[in-house]
Amino acid sequence: MTLIKSKRYKCQHIKGHRLKTILAAANCIIPEHAGLSKGGTLDTAGVVDWAIDQMPKELRFQFLLFISVVYVMGFFFGGRPFHKLLYDDQIRELKWMESSPINAFRMGFMGLKSYICMGYFTREQNWTSIHYCGPIVYDQPSPDPVIRQLCQGKIKVQS
């Protein structure tokens, strides 16, 4: 994880095809609806990237590999990389992974969905849309100020 002097967070693990895949998957998992904006934003990706950086090295490798698999599997669901598929084809691929007979796809999808939801719903700007008032102990200091500032929108994410 890198905090740039100008209050910008530079993604270390989610970049290139992985960033495009995460953004497209986040738009499928959290579509624009009833006052909620789409999930596929750099702010969501920044929180996900920060969380990936906290993973043990072996798990991080597996998770990043799974994101690359989602990218490549797009060719089987519409002849293109995942982020270039039609929205319906992206949904079809993700649903297939979610209910796949192959355990690695189901578990990978569950991890991807969990991290995307965490990246989206921990950001304070989204709390009012879901009628969440915030944690009971609101101003408790965070052990890592970077994640706190990312969630408050005080740091902008740079791809």
Q: What digits encode the pLDDT tens for the residues 113-151?
A: 999 999 998 888 888 777 777 766 666 667 778 888 888
pLDDT of 17 reads 97
Enter the pTM of the model.
0.87
Backbone angles phi, psi at 37, to 5 degrees: -80, 165
- Name which of 137, 157, 135 is nearest 147 in CA terms: 157
